[in-house]
Structure 1
Amino acid sequence: MADHGGPRSHARAFEPTRALGRAVLVAGALVFVAVIIGRYDLVAIAAPFAIGTAISLVRRPRRVPTLEVSTAEPFLVEGNDVDVTVSVGNPNPSGFDLVVVRAVVPRWVRLRHTDRPYAVSVAGGTIAGVGLEGRILRWGRHPLGPVTAHAIASDGLLISRGAQTPPLPLKAYPATEHFDAAEAMPRAAGHVGGHRSRRTGEGGELAGVRRFGPGDRLRRIDWRVSLRTREIHVVSTLSDRDAEVVVLLDALHEAGRSGGIDGATSVLDITVRAAAGIAEHYLHRGDRVALLQYGGAVRHLRAASGRRHYMTTLEWLLDVAPGEQDDEPPPSSFGPHMVQGNALVMVLTPLLDVRSAAMLASLARAGRFVVAVDTLADSALRVRAAGKWGDVAARMWRLEREAIMGQLREHGVPVVAWGGAGSLDEVLHGVARVAVGRTVTT
């Protein structure tokens, strides 16, 4: 059975081309005419066609080419160059005349030679490389492929069936929207980190000088003040504690059309890039960052800190996608119970849906420190409505959106437009002052 299966597989590996059909037709026609009319000199003319075809078929390859697709970079950032290598191997002792390689190119990958096929000759028992050079234009997961190769052999008389590889997963992390904030956190939770706590303790930030009390360390005594007042005083410091920041992404809707890293930005582009920038800022300062997605399936990345968590955050952001029109997280799967009481919740939202406003209000009513970051791009605000009543409809839409913002501010939720570095300083200072007032009251 194995002997019979081998030839059948070889027959399926390569198929005749039109060139083989023409060679057989010419040789057969000349021999037929020579027999019919008695012109045996035509046999001498047909002999080279027949002999050449036979010699080419005798040294025909038996196996299709092998393919392997790889990239030197484990991960990329949108806007970076991508270099993919397609290794084409020839497992046969005889060489291939030509190997045609073609790849299915995803939308956000631009190859230097577009999606046209590549041709390379591969000698017997060797491997040839085909370089696919290009650029990734947008964040996300972009499967390059499948890659297909067809080998042409026996002087163009045979063509192999397509050898194919599965798509190569390319990951493009979002380009970080630089974010910087010099604010104090509303409340700190842990015992490490770069933020100043509201409570005294071991740290480097001076809180003041006070009288000596039980439990104070002798090395904290301020001798200058003690000698002047004739009472022992100690230096009080604020403890350095880490804070928990929750970045909540509103993915109920997408607005605008993305043009990649060099083009127009959609709401989802702004949301994902801003989230990456905010997470990088707070993780660099030693804080703990958690991520939540509202819209479609509820996704939650638990709070952690460090470089590894930053890479995990970028990986998590790759799968952010807008929900369907009627998708709404069930109340049992999303709510204030998913956010710690002392966390700063930064909600990246375009405020296009009343459900988003209700979600923000519920977090505020539960006592969470909430900041609404408006991610609706200016281009999306310029609504183009055709018809006689287009301008009226656009104005009504803007008024309705402003009314939602006003209601959120009445619930104590500040709304600020995302503008990159320093754009949230003022509102975060306000949140910190509110936190101090709550602490004093309690």
Structure 2
Amino acid sequence: MSTMGWHPTHAHLRAVTLGFGLLLVGIVLGRIDLVVLATPLLLVALAGAASRPRVVPAVAATGGSLAVHEGEDLLWSATVEDLPPGGVVAAHHPGQRWLEVEPADGLLVPEEGGVARVGIGLRPVRWGRRTLGAPAVTAYDAWAAWRWVADRPQPLRLTVLPTKEQVDTTAPAPHPNGLVGQERAGRPGEGTEFAKVRPFEPGDRLRRIHWAASARSGTLHVTATHADEDAHVVLLVDAVNDVGASEGITGARSSMDLAVRAAAVLAEHFLRRGDRVGLRVFGDWRVSFLPSSSGRHQLRRLLDTLALVEPGTARGEEALAARQGLGAGTLAILLSPLIEPASTQQVAMLTSAGIDVVVVDTLPAELASGAGPGSTPEERLAWRLRMLQRRVERDRMASLGIPVVTWAGPHSIDRVLRDLTRRSSTPRMVRR
């Protein structure tokens, strides 16, 4: 609630000043025409002065903290009470970057029974944490002679979570080693995926008896299945550099946009299958590591952590120390534009430790083609040289058996996961 009360509008002050001024000049100079011109202005000024509201309105508005996804619409609303008869309320949101406001020019709402309810549509278009400035709320009386300006309501704090697409891929993750989940284990057990029909053994459940095979052979046979287990997946997000321009969810995407949104998609995919998913972010001193876990709450923790990412706040080799806490049998998915040379070095270290690594290239396609940033010929030449070096590094990783895929949607790593699952059954040497 504002404690300043009602104040005259500029229109009311002009009517008073101009009306009395013309009246005074007309009387002094004996100009009847000026007196006639002053008469309607004086009548409006007197009517406005007589209609001055005596009660200060009260406003209640949306505030606090909210969590929404990119592109999700939300409504900022306010209720203004104790308005004078015939009054109106004007509301306008100042807007800011990564926020679409509807209507952008504000709105006018007439009072009904002394109460006016206003609502402004907001649509965040990029992930992150931000505080939205509160809209300006102003009330006017019926003559627009008096106005009341509300104190700015409590600001709205938004956590904009990265958008996630539905993934219907059936590609399994290699090395399932837990107790729950949908991944097929390398050993027989209680599960849903058929393995073989074998002779009955003590301890087998009667519901597993395969009556057709038992009738043909004359001895009891049962249906064996593969155990359903979970995999350990760690998402490694390279936030050392943010390359390219970002225009929100509907426009151009930077490398950080692609990495964060891809991490959200992959996290939901593996968690929905019952796997354990962790997160490590390099290049951001505020966000470093989220322990692996499973379930719906883990997905929300992952999205909250991704919304905090601010690229380029920490640099150096320590920011890319990817092996900490990861052991053999882990599936590590590195999401990186592959601009920082240290990221390719860490991929080699992870692979030599027996960790399956999938590199997801998040450099925007228009930048990878060579048309990079730079306002001078020297900068553009340097970018082309870096792209050539980057291509050599990608070819070197591919020659070492490290899959490198360009992110083009949820199915980008489908075939790679199938290849890794087949390869996981092959013995190999690792460095201890």
The TM-score bracket by the shorter chain reads 0.7 to 0.9
Deviates more, 1:430-439 or 1:241-250: 430-439
Tell me if 1:379 matches 2:366. Answer: yes
Does structure 2 retain, via aligned residues, the 8 Å contact 1:252–1:327? yes
Q: Offset of 1:103 from its aligned partner?
A: 0.8
Does structure 2 retain, via aligned residues, the 8 Å contact 1:192–1:242? yes
What residue is the counterpart of 1:346 in the other structure? 333
In structure 1, how many angstroms separate the alpha carbons of the residues matched to 2:124 and 2:215?
Answer: 68
In structure 2, how many angstroms separate the alpha carbons of the residues matched to 1:212 and 1:151?
Answer: 83
Q: Percent of aligned positions with the same letter in both sequences?
A: 33
Q: 1:267 aligns with which of 227, 230, 255?
A: 255
What SS class does the counterpart of residue 164 from structure 1 fall into?
coil
Tell me if 1:255 matches 2:243. Answer: yes
Does structure 2 retain, via aligned residues, the 8 Å contact 1:106–1:143? no
In structure 1, how many angstroms separate the alpha carbons of the residues matched to 2:384 and 2:279?
Answer: 34
What residue is the counterpart of 2:5 in the other structure? 13
Deviations 1:176-235 (A, max 9, x none): 34545443432112222111011222223344466777x753746779889999999876
In structure 2, how many angstroms separate the alpha carbons of the residues matched to 1:273 and 1:403?
Answer: 27
Q: 1:104 aligns with which of 94, 105, 118?
A: 94
How many residue pairs are counted as aligned between the two chains? Answer: 423
Deviates more, 1:274-283 or 1:18-27: 18-27
Q: 2:139 aligns with which of 151, 155, 159?
A: 151
What SS class does the counterpart of residue 130 from structure 1 fall into?
strand
Question: What pairs with 1:363-442 in structure 2 (closer than 5 Å)?
Answer: 363-384=350-371, 393-409=382-398, 413-438=402-427
What residue is the counterpart of 1:238 in the other structure? 226
Q: 1:356 aligns with which of 343, 348, 357?
A: 343
In structure 2, how many angstroms separate the alpha carbons of the residues matched to 1:227 and 1:35?
Answer: 123
Q: 2:276 aligns with which of 279, 288, 292?
A: 288
What residue is the counterpart of 2:204 in the other structure? 217
Q: 1:186 aligns with which of 174, 193, 208?
A: 174
What residue is the counterpart of 2:80 in the other structure? 89
What residue is the counterpart of 1:3 in the other structure? none
What SS class does the counterpart of residue 338 from structure 1 fall into?
coil
Change (3 A) 1:126 1:284: same
Letter in 1 for 2:303: L
In structure 1, how many angstroms separate the alpha carbons of the residues matched to 2:185 and 2:117?
Answer: 58
In structure 2, how many angstroms separate the alpha carbons of the residues matched to 1:370 and 1:254?
Answer: 22
Does structure 1 retain, via aligned residues, the 8 Å contact 2:59–2:81? no
In structure 1, how many angstroms separate the alpha carbons of the residues matched to 2:409 and 2:425?
Answer: 26
Does structure 2 retain, via aligned residues, the 8 Å contact 1:17–1:158? yes
What residue is the counterpart of 1:4 in the other structure? none
What residue is the counterpart of 1:5 in the other structure? none
Deviations 1:298-321 (A, max 9, x none): 333333333343344333332233
Does structure 1 retain, via aligned residues, the 8 Å contact 2:255–2:364? yes
Does structure 1 retain, via aligned residues, the 8 Å contact 2:339–2:390? yes
In structure 1, how many angstroms separate the alpha carbons of the residues matched to 2:299 and 2:95?
Answer: 29
Change (3 A) 1:388 1:77: closer
What residue is the counterpart of 1:121 in the other structure? 110
Change (3 A) 1:148 1:320: same
Deviations 1:358-393 (A, max 9, x none): 332332233322111111121111333666667754
In structure 2, how many angstroms separate the alpha carbons of the residues matched to 1:231 and 1:167?
Answer: 75
Q: Gaps (5+ residues) in structure 2?
A: none
What SS class does the counterpart of residue 329 from structure 2 fall into?
coil
In structure 1, how many angstroms separate the alpha carbons of the residues matched to 2:197 and 2:429?
Answer: 20
What SS class does the counterpart of residue 426 from structure 1 fall into?
helix
Deviates more, 1:393-402 or 1:342-351: 393-402
Deviates more, 1:421-430 or 1:389-398: 389-398
Change (3 A) 1:388 1:319: closer
In structure 1, how many angstroms separate the alpha carbons of the residues matched to 2:26 and 2:405?
Answer: 92
Letter in 2 for 1:382: S
What SS class does the counterpart of residue 336 from structure 1 fall into?
coil
What SS class does the counterpart of residue 371 from structure 1 fall into?
strand
Does structure 2 retain, via aligned residues, the 8 Å contact 1:364–1:412? no
What SS class does the counterpart of residue 432 from structure 1 fall into?
helix
Deviates more, 1:372-381 or 1:202-211: 202-211
What SS class does the counterpart of residue 436 from structure 1 fall into?
coil
TM-score normalised per structure 2: 0.79
What residue is the counterpart of 1:197 in the other structure? 185
Letter in 2 for 1:306: G
What SS class does the counterpart of residue 61 from structure 1 fall into?
coil
In structure 2, how many angstroms separate the alpha carbons of the residues matched to 1:224 and 1:440?
Answer: 45
Q: Offset of 1:145 from its aligned partner?
A: 3.0
Change (3 A) 1:440 1:238: farther
Does structure 2 retain, via aligned residues, the 8 Å contact 1:104–1:144? no
Does structure 1 retain, via aligned residues, the 8 Å contact 2:235–2:278? yes
Change (3 A) 1:300 1:68: farther
Change (3 A) 1:294 1:63: farther
